[in-house]
Structure 1
Amino acid sequence: MPERTLQTVRDLRRSNRSLLLRRLYFGGPLSRQDLIHTTSLSAASVSNVVADLVDDGLVVEAGALESEGGRPRILLRVNSSALHVVGVDVGETRVRVELFDLDLERQAGTDLPLDAGGFTAPEVVTRIRAGLEAVTGAAAPDGPALLGIGIGVPGVVQHSPDAVVHGQTNGWDGVPLERLLHEFTDLPIFIDNGAVTMGQAEMWFGAGRGTRNTVVTLIGSGVGASVVTAGSPYRGSTSSAGEWGHTTVRVDGRRCRCGSRGCLEAYIGAESVIARFLEIADDPAVRDAADEESALAALLARTDSAAAREVLDDTAVHIGAGVANLINLFNPERIVIGGWAGLMLGSALLPRIRETAREYALHHPFSQTRITLGDLGPDAVTRGAATLPVARFLAAGGTRSRAGAQAAPASGH
């Protein structure tokens, strides 16, 4: 009985710390009185937990507010400089590694290109290692400790218990990525699908903030989505939900990289958009561009080209039809178009995308859905990856994870 009581007290303390940390993280700065009014905790509990968090260096004072007829109210916030965290975006053409403070403000970063055909597990691991060394080397030697590494990858991520990645379009079949990374680091590693990490970033800090039912789409070389329902990503039975790019938009249509035909990705993914244009127009600015981002930018700049206008209009129509399918299936409050290619295409084509979605979606759910671009730019996957260790940290009441501890499923706040 005493052991059970101790465990219950320990759990209650962790739960209270988590509750107050999350309130301060997402809503701060707040006073102790604010925390009492917005939680179910007593004044004594708030006072004791806040004192613990201040003693641990996780919460600091952030000024004061004058009050009528009484003492000023001291404001509190999470100490953003208490810890650092690393976010990694494993793209199909490069690996981006960034160092963040606890508020997920960027401190350092590096991009490491992948050679053509270089999307192999050893190549990716090598670049993650080099990126980690670069960004941690840029930090002060006596600076904040590292909370962990969050990684967003293309493909399906399963935890059994270590993270294993399945990527049909890039030839990854059960790659034990977490185990490979632990060969050179003892830091806690948190791995999830890149669209899910980007979705969490947009839900925490960007275009999805304040909503509970939102779809955040990622359009890059490939295409994916994070379907957030009741504040948490819908994952399906084996974590493969959200493969929006591999929904069929044309039976017997264009060949997709996954091997099937008529997938949405074969019409709106950057690689496919560029290929479709070059099939009908031999444009040196697009054909000879240094990378996909440069090629897509050159294509979007060709406003004088009938071929470019045709391909881009067709791309907008397919994005709009795909968005209509999401509206009809999930009835979201908001659909956020993100990813580096999604932001480039959306900036030029959003009116046409909305027009097509209106045409193909059911009228009432369409009228309840806002279609918008992501707020966080092309770095959203990296920042979203960094939310993975931060989410675990907040859920644990400010207790750091052990090396090898995996991420809890991403969720809203």
Structure 2
Amino acid sequence: MVARRTARDLRSENRFEVLHALFELGPSTRQELARHTGLSPATVATLVTEFLSEGVLRIATVENNTGGRPQERLTVDPGRGRIVGVDVAETYVDATVYDLALGALGQGEVALDEHENDPSYVADGIVRAIESAVAAGGAEHEHIIGVSVSMPGHVHPEAGVSVFAPNWDWRDVHIEKMLAHLLVPVYVDNPLKAVVLSEMWFGAGRVVDTMAVVNLGTGVGAGIAIDGALVRGTTNNAGEWGHTLLELDGRPCRCGRRGCVEAYLGAPGLRTTLAGIDPEHRTLRQPRQRDFVEAVAEGLAEGDPALKDLAHRTAHYLAAALGDLVNMLNVPTVTLTGWASEALAAHLLPAVRDELPHHVMPGSLPGLTVEPSRVPGNAVALGMAAFTLQQFLNRLGLGSPAGTGPWADRGRGLGPAGLGQQPGQGL
């Protein structure tokens, strides 16, 4: 049963629409925001006043129009605070510090041993990456309003728990509690939700409102947006396309099933495919997943025949799996993101596009596009930063659940000027 929307819900959604419009349009007048959002000028004026009173927006310029009242152009105030978005994968932790306008200020990365799965080891890597990013960005600790951490697998955001991470064999790891000593609000979510939010705000979502964002790395998954709303599912587990069936009784997958998409398209799956083509190939000597994938890309650029066979087979698997995804969701746009995609998309996409008509139902094929993501920087970290921004607005009473699923302010107090800490506290 769908809960009845209240007037408060509608007001929160309107606030979200105004903020989202500013990210899409840049500095805008109240009239431009009203036209873009479809809200009444009076509603926009009221919401802008609220944002200005909290310092979230500032007046960028004042334009004097002949014969009319001066018009103020509004923008998000980047100096209102600092946000840390963290992308945690099986092989690395990548942290980026952003200003409130989601401009990147500094980045830090820590390599993880893909064979080490102890939660305390991963949590230590998260802290070290955050510290590196904060130092690189010149961020003052007291200005950090929140940290968002993306964890692979099934995540329960409201509890801050990694429910199940198959590649680490994690179950019910309370990652938020493990980071409580950071002394700032911490939000934990899944990278599939982060990449689709970043695509909605800064990528293909500026043109279309229904899409799938396919993430290729150690694991494989798809973030989904339908009619401008991020799809989470009942337990925040929507998008586990990597654990749908590609081959009945096929390769074993780390989730415990056989024949999953991830077993063929994840980085370990690529290694398995290459081993079947040429068990002695030099690229197989690369012990780290990212080094292996980069070596594959380099070999493809050189025309290595075994690697060309690998790319051909992988494109075949990807086209078939994308066909199922498109047939199920009827999305007009698919974007590819993730570190493995960045390395290999140029080698895979031409063959994928050629083969897709053999896998997609005719009704879903017209206008279908499959492209690399053009979101700048780390799409996961950027999406997580956008979640933190929304959570910050929620703590100010300006937040919105629209399109982003459940939120919970878990009792963390706000320090001076609402910046998330007490004096003298920091990361």
Length-normalised TM-score, structure 2:
0.83
Query: 1:62–1:283: structure 2 CA closer, same or farther, 3 Å change rule?
Result: farther
Q: Is the 8 A contact 1:18 1:395 kept in 2?
A: no
For 2:290 and 2:139, how far apart are their aligned partners in 1? 35
1:58 aligns with 2:56: yes
Which of residues 247, 250, 253 in structure 2 aligns to 1:250? 247
Aligned residue in 2 for 1:3: none
1: CA distance, partners of 2:193 / 2:7:
34
Shift in Å, 1:288 = 3.4
Determine the C-alpha separation between the residues in 2 that align with 1:378 and 1:219. Answer: 16
- Contact persistence 2:193–2:232 (CA under 8 A): no
2:378 aligned counterpart, secondary structure: helix
Separation in 1, partners of 2:188, 2:182: 14
- Residues 57 and 77 in structure 2, CA contact (< 8 A), matched pair in contact too: yes
1:196-255 C-alpha deviation (Å, 9 max, x unpaired): 111111111013333222111101011011121222232223222211111111112122
1:310 to 1:263, Cα distance in 2 relative to 1, 3 A: same
Alpha carbons 1:18, 1:397 under 8 Å: kept: no
Instruction: Identify if the C-alpha distance between structure 1 residues 226 and 18 changes in structure 2 by more than 3 Å, giving closer, same or farther.
Output: closer
Deviation by residue 1:66-93 (Cα, 9 ceiling, x = unmatched):
5353344221111122111001111011
- Distance (Å, rounded) in 2 between the aligned partners of 1:281 and 1:210: 43
Residue 192 of structure 2 corresponds to which residue in structure 1? 195
Q: In the alignment, is the contact (CA less than 8 A) between 1:320 and 1:357 conserved in 2?
A: yes
Q: Distance in 1 between matches of 2:265 and 2:341?
A: 9
Supply the AA of the counterpart residue of 2:308: R
> Identity across aligned pairs (percent)?
30
1:320 counterpart = 2:319: yes
Residues 6-405 of structure 1: pairs in structure 2 closer than 5 A: 18=16, 20-37=18-35, 38=37, 40-43=39-42, 46-47=44-45, 49-65=47-63, 67-140=65-138, 145-159=143-157, 161-182=159-180, 184-281=181-278, 285-289=282-286, 291-303=288-300, 304-376=303-375, 379-394=378-393
User: Which region of structure 1 is more displaced relative to structure 2, 9-18 or 137-146?
Assistant: 9-18
Name the CA distance, whole Å, in 2 between partners of 1:124 and 1:101.
26
Distance 1:234 1:106, change over 3 A: same
Aligned equivalents of 1:107, 1:319: Cα separation in 2: 35
Q: Could you tell me how far apart the structure 1 residues matched to 2:53 and 2:156 are?
A: 38
Aligned residue type for 2:328: L
> Helix, strand or coil: the match of 1:70?
coil
* TM-aligned CA distance change 1:222 to 1:82, over 3 Å: same
SS of the equivalent of 1:24 reads helix
Q: Contact between 2:109 and 2:132, CA under 8 Å: does it hold in 1?
A: no
Q: Is the contact made by 1:186 and 1:403 (CA closer than 8 Å) also made in structure 2?
A: no
Cα separation, partners in 2 of 1:239 and 1:9, compared to 1, 3 Å? closer
Moved more, 10-19 or 164-173: 10-19
SS at match of 2:206: coil
Which sits farther off after the overlay, 372-381 or 256-265? 372-381
Instruction: Give the aligned length.
Output: 396
Q: Displacement, 1:316?
A: 0.2
Shift of 1:261: 1.4
- In 1, are the aligned partners of 2:395 and 2:409 still within 8 Å (CA)? no
Q: Which amino acid aligns with 1:201?
A: S
CA-to-partner distance for each residue in 1:249-282, whole Å, 9 max, x for gaps?
1112122222221111111111211232134325
CA contact (8 A) 1:150 1:386 kept: yes
CA distance in 2, matches of 1:402, 1:273: 41
Pick which of 298-307 and 166-175 moved more.
298-307
Cα separation, 1, equivalents of 2:296 and 2:189? 32
Amino acid across the alignment from 2:251 = R
Residue 105 of structure 2 aligns to a residue whose secondary structure is strand
CA drift of 1:392 comes to 2.7
Cα 1:22/1:28, change in 2 over 3 Å: same
Aligned to 1:75, the other structure's residue is in SS state strand
Contact map agreement 1:267 1:315 (CA 8 A) in 2: yes
Distance 1:189 1:40 in 2: 32
Deviation at 1:10, TM superposition (A): 9.0
The secondary structure found in structure 2 opposite 1:252 is coil
Aligned equivalents of 1:394, 1:294: Cα separation in 2: 40
SS where residue 269 of structure 2 aligns?
helix
- Distance in 1 (CA, whole Å) between partners of 2:224 and 2:22 is 26
Give the 3-state SS of the residue equivalent to 2:258 in structure 1.
coil
TM-score for the superposition, normalised by structure 1: 0.86
Q: Whole-Å Cα distance in 2 between the matches of residues 215 and 174 of structure 1?
A: 28
Match for 1:336: what amino acid? T
